[in-house]
Amino acid sequence: MEENKNETPLYIQAKDYLLGIIRRMEGGANQLEGENLLAAKLGMSRETIRKAMTTLIQEGIITRRHGKGNYGHPSLTNLNMRIDLNSDFRRILTSRGYTVRSFRSGGVVATPSAGMIKRMPEAEGSAVVAFDLDLLADGRPAIHGSVQLLRDIVTRIPQAGEYVDNINEYLKDHCQTESNHTTAWLLAENNAAMARHFSLEPGTALLCWEEIYYDITDRKMGYVKIYFNPEIMDLSLLLKF
């Protein structure tokens, strides 16, 4: 019977072992050993090995081919800031070794912006609660977001100050309903004021995106536009065929 004297769950230990193997692989020689052999080698159950494999399959780092086996992809093990896996920017920055601090402006009741109405036409004529978010990485501005939530769903208007919750936790605490998913659009933009905010030349092209938040019933909750400092944020994603 497998015994765990380490606080780290066994499947995470197996996952880390597999990642170490995959990192050392080369293209064309990337087939992994079978689950039974790995289980015997690590002194773990086959179920634990399969759970670790499944996690890496979900992350795209392993591909399973029926009748052929499992293949590791070393090209993906050093792909940083993957937004297809995680859109929690605090976690993304922390994973890259940055010390992160987050600040929120006080919420104000306002009318929807043109950007919000473009993505969410039904918001026209409604009131919104608007506030800004800033994430600093090692003291440098890394991300700026402008959030607008439908006033009707906001139960508590945010106060200005430093915060540690992510946007999902914030929506749960300040709105009538929890968020469930978002839709997003990637953009490139010249915005001199935002470039100066990031201490960049005013003509620097900036990556930004827009999101619409939805609740579990698929109703729209609000809109956010986010700008990224290109000197800090090197976002990536995996696309599978």
Tell me whether residue 125 is exposed, middle or buried, using C-beta atoms within 10 angstroms of its C-beta: 0 to 12, 13 to 18, 19 or more: exposed
Per-residue pLDDT tens for 166-214? 878 888 888 888 889 999 999 999 999 999 999 999 999 999 999 999 9
How open is the CA angle 26-28-31, to the nearest 5 degrees? 85
**pLDDT value, residue 20:** 95
Collect the ranges in the chain with pLDDT lower than 50.
Answer: 1
Nearest to 171 by CA among 216, 115, 123, 125: 216
- What is the spatial distance between Cα 232 and Cα 164, in angstroms, rounded to a whole number? 20
Output helix, strand, coil percentages for the chain, rounded to the nearest 5.
30, 35, 40
**pLDDT value, residue 1:** 46
Average pLDDT, rounded, for the chain: 93
Domains of the chain, with CATH numbers?
10-76 (1.10.10.10), 89-228 (3.40.1410.10)
Q: What is the pTM of this model?
A: 0.84
Q: Phi, psi at residue 184, to the nearest 5°? A: -140, 150
Distance (Å) of CA 202 to CA 74, 91, 141, 186, 193: 38, 29, 15, 21, 7
